[in-house]
Amino acid sequence: MTNGAISLDTIFIDEGFGSLDTENDAGTLDQVLQVLQNIVGERRAVGLISHVPLVQQAVPNGFTVRKGVNGSQIEVRLH
């Protein structure tokens, strides 16, 4: 993305997806996910934090942090 002379090649989004509606690929969440996929397709990096299963499924690569009795564990997800 470009704003004036500034090039934005990486964006990091921390949640907020749970409040967006979804409706047969026509809801706000679906539109947001499509825009994010388009941005990544333009060789830009997008980082997301989300507990919403639909968002987690839409992101091809990532990791999940799980709380355990002996501390947190990271599970890598690669598609």
Report which DSSP code applies to 5.
T
At residue 43, the 3 state secondary structure works out as coil
Structural domain 2-77, CATH architecture: 3-Layer(aba) Sandwich (3.40)
Return the minimum-mean-pLDDT range out of 11-25, 30-44, 56-70. 11-25
Q: What are the residue ranges spanned by the domains of the chain?
A: 2-77
Q: What is the pTM of this model?
A: 0.60
19 closest CA partner among 7, 5, 32: 32
Residue 76 has pLDDT above 80, yes or no: yes
Query: Would you report the helix, strand and coil content of the chain in percent, each value rounded to 5?
Result: 30, 35, 35
Residue linked to tokens 């990091």: 12
